[in-house]
Amino acid sequence: MIKNESCFPAEEAGRKKVGILGGTFDPIHTGHLILAETACEAFSLDYVLIMPNGNPPHKPGQVNASMEQRTRMAELAASDNDHFRVSDFEKTPQDYHYTYETLEFLTQEHPDTDYYFILGADSLVHFHTWKEPERICKCCRILAATRDRMETSVLKKHMERLALEMGACIEPLETPNIDISSNMLRERVRKGRSIRYYVPDTVEAYIREQGLYL
């Protein structure tokens, strides 16, 4: 995998490399975990910070489980992997932070760390509509997961446009195309169907215990 050296400078001794995977995780599932593990391996990250969104402004009223429940499910899913850590940073009175606020806080608090923000390649199409996208680009490198079978030429076009317009540092992250969505899993639970293997056993047990998504 070839990196743009002006975008990805030579590694400095002592600096940490941390991935950030945000999402509602309602619930967290195997696709999320494979994405995080793939990023960790491909870019030699120290770990990936799994960060549940509180009540994201772009999904008003669409979050089903509480922040506490979704954080707990993430903790259960990540508990057996040293590459994963979970943060409830967005547990605030308004229950959300914009991405640029989270990244600016992290970079100020941890100046010895380089952050790699993981998102789906399809999100690049709408990235310009995010709150303060230029400020996001200043705080991190973006890893665009090549999912949903987006054509390489289309992805490259979006990467080049964001690099030119916003100074974004973007690298494609090759991932298997796993057709799982949290919405699909909630529907399966509602219909009494199995979600075994779609989520870790501990997460499945927690969903039953809490009576989620019924």
Question: Would residue 10 count as lying in a domain?
Answer: no
CATH code of the domain in which 104 resides: 3.40.50.620
- What residues make up the domain containing 92? 16-180
10-26 pLDDT per residue, tens:
567 689 999 999 999 99
Q: What is the chain's pLDDT, residue by residue, as a tens digit (214 residues)?
A: 334 444 665 567 689 999 999 999 999 999 999 999 999 999 999 999 999 987 665 555 678 999 999 999 999 999 999 999 999 887 655 556 789 999 999 999 999 999 999 998 888 888 999 999 999 999 999 999 986 567 778 888 889 999 999 999 999 998 888 889 999 999 999 999 999 999 999 999 999 999 999 9
Question: Would residue 205 count as lying in a domain?
Answer: no
pLDDT for the residue numbered 35: 95
pLDDT for the residue numbered 148: 58
pLDDT for the residue numbered 3: 43
Total-model pTM: 0.89
- Token pair of 106 as six digits: 């992290």
Task: Using alpha carbons, select from 45, 17, 21, 46 the residue that is nearest to residue 32.
Answer: 21
Within 10 angstroms of residue 123's Cβ, the number of other Cβ atoms is: 14
pLDDT for the residue numbered 196: 97
Strands 16-23, 113-120: parallel, antiparallel or unpaired by DSSP? parallel
Task: Using alpha carbons, select from 20, 22, 27, 72 the residue that is nearest to residue 181.
Answer: 27
User: What burial class does residue 200 get, using C-beta atoms within 10 Å of its C-beta: 0-12 exposed, 13-18 middle, 19+ buried?
Assistant: buried
Question: Would residue 129 count as lying in a domain?
Answer: yes
Question: Would residue 21 count as lying in a domain?
Answer: yes
Q: What are phi and psi of 147, to 5 degrees?
A: -115, 180
d(CA 106, CA 193) in angstroms, rounded, equals 40
pLDDT for the residue numbered 178: 85
Question: Would residue 204 count as lying in a domain?
Answer: no
- Domains contained in the chain, number: 1
pLDDT for the residue numbered 8: 60
Question: Would residue 206 count as lying in a domain?
Answer: no
**Interhelix angle 30-42/67-78, nearest 10 degrees:** 60
Please identify which residue in the block is written with the tokens 């054509």: 151
- Could you list the beta-strand ranges (E) of the chain: 16-23, 47-52, 84-86, 113-120, 141-145, 170-173
Helix (H) or strand (E) holding 166: helix 152-166
Question: Would residue 49 count as lying in a domain?
Answer: yes
Question: Would residue 89 count as lying in a domain?
Answer: yes
50-87 pLDDT per residue, tens:
999 876 655 556 789 999 999 999 999 999 999 999 99
